[in-house]
Amino acid sequence: MSAPTVALDLTADPAALTAALVDMASVSGEERALADAVEAALRAQAPHFEVLRDGDAVLARTNLGRERRVLLAGHLDTVPIADNVPSRWEGDLLYGCGTSDMKAGDAVFAHLAATITEPRHDLTLVFYDCEEVEAVRNGLGRLERNHRDWLAADLAVPGEPTDGEVEAGCQGTLRVEVRTSGRRAHSARSWLGDNAIHHAGEVLRRLGDYTPRRVDIDGCEYREGLQAVRIAGGVAGNVVPDECVVGVNFRFAPDRSVEQAEQHVREVLDGFDVTLTDSSPGALPGLAQPAAQEFLAATGATARAKFGWTDVARFAALGIPAVNYGPGDPNLAHTRDEHVDVTVVARCTDVLRTFLT
């Protein structure tokens, strides 16, 4: 027998709704109960929306025949809990896993769905699963594969944490493994071997000496980064190792394609055995699009670059202009003391209400 669905009040203050969402733990892969609660609340409290479901992704949309459609997207999952559920308050700060990334954004979107009955744009809301894990499990990607028409829009706004600012585009990311090889020997007779870990020193030197680009695109400065993020090697305490693997992550500006980024990494690490293990393209700002310009005017903000990868890139690949906008602080995402300032939650709610009405 499944657990009873928790009742969510979407008309409540978005800060209180954020706390209710946080108190329903939803680590990646464990979103079912929260998805059930969100679906039930939308069906009961937003009857002007058509509600659809795919796995643990819930989609709601109006069909009012408006000239444009705006899509608000928020993931329901969080990183693993770090003794920070249930939520707790300290003045205007709400602490708890997912407060910043991105249940505050989810709460704002759900609240607007229940309280705006005559939007000037048709609206689509997507609450999806498994954003915080490998791309193959991403619920938004599953919707793209199974129901491409559900994601039709003239502007998409993922509610990723931006501290109430507009963050345009996103960086691309790729990961490679760099292998160095040698020859095993007894460490007491090291001259008979060839130490693969020592050879990795040149890899680390090149990465340490690397000067990353800063790239201005549409007034947004993207900062690249090429970093060793993992190293593994060694056989035993008395063996000269014959293999070492350095994991390297390249965060690249969206003016590079994945292929160009990979080629650049291979040039930096020329002479070494480099294997690509994972990649996702970035997204250009797309601020020249009319819908994006209208959103910027509504916020009264100047867009800045998004550091890191978000599902903005997925929408960009579909030809949909997209910007990141949410109340959480990106510097607090995934931390043990993750929290959100509820005054920013209120401000984001007001800005989006103005834009949509």
Are 278 and 174 contacting, i.e. CB atoms less than 8 angstroms apart?
A: yes
For position 331, what pLDDT does the model report? 92
pTM of the predicted protein model: 0.86
For position 4, what pLDDT does the model report? 58
| pLDDT exceeds cutoff 80 at 134 | yes
DSSP structure string for 228-256: EEEEEE-S-TTEE-SEEEEEEEEEE-TTS
Hey, what domains does the chain have and what are their CATH numbers?
14-170+283-356 (3.40.630.10), 172-280 (3.30.70.360)
For position 237, what pLDDT does the model report? 96
C-alpha to C-alpha distances, 312 to 70, 171, 219, 236, 337, nearest whole angstrom: 14, 10, 18, 45, 26
Identify the H or E element spanning 10: none
For position 307, what pLDDT does the model report? 86
pLDDT tier at 6 (50, 70, 90 boundaries)? Answer: confident
For position 356, what pLDDT does the model report? 95
For residues 204 and 31, give the distance between their C-alpha atoms in angstroms, rounded to a whole number.
Answer: 40
Q: Which residues pair with 186 in a beta bridge?
A: 239
pLDDT tens digits, one per residue of 211-223: 999 999 988 999 9
Are 312 and 323 contacting, i.e. CB atoms less than 8 angstroms apart?
A: yes
For residues 22 and 189, give the distance between their C-alpha atoms in angstroms, rounded to a whole number.
Answer: 58
For residues 46-53, average pLDDT: 97
- Which residue in the list 31, 39, 56, 77 is annotated as catalytic? 77
pLDDT tens digits, one per residue of 318-357: 999 899 999 999 999 999 999 999 999 999 999 999 999 9
pLDDT tens digits, one per residue of 156-199: 999 999 999 999 999 999 999 999 999 999 999 999 999 999 99
pLDDT tier at 66 (50, 70, 90 boundaries)? Answer: very high
- Which residue in the list 31, 39, 56, 131 is annotated as catalytic? 131
| pLDDT exceeds cutoff 70 at 70 | yes
What is the DSSP secondary structure assignment for residue 126, as one 8-state letter? E
For residues 69 and 159, give the distance between their C-alpha atoms in angstroms, rounded to a whole number.
Answer: 16
| pLDDT exceeds cutoff 60 at 305 | yes
For position 286, what pLDDT does the model report? 83
For position 1, what pLDDT does the model report? 41
Are 355 and 121 contacting, i.e. CB atoms less than 8 angstroms apart?
A: no
Query: What percentage of the chain reaches a pLDDT higher than 70?
Result: 99
For residues 20-45, average pLDDT: 98
For residues 108 and 90, give the distance between their C-alpha atoms in angstroms, rounded to a whole number.
Answer: 20
| pLDDT exceeds cutoff 90 at 309 | no
What is the DSSP secondary structure assignment for residue 27, as one 8-state letter? B
Q: Which of 32-36, 102-106, 276-280 has the lowest mean pLDDT?
A: 276-280
Strand, helix or coil for residue 114: helix
Mean pLDDT of the chain: 95
337 is catalytic: no
For residues 331 and 163, give the distance between their C-alpha atoms in angstroms, rounded to a whole number.
Answer: 9
Query: What percentage of the chain reaches a pLDDT higher than 90?
Result: 88
For position 273, what pLDDT does the model report? 98
For residues 34-42, average pLDDT: 98
218 is catalytic: no
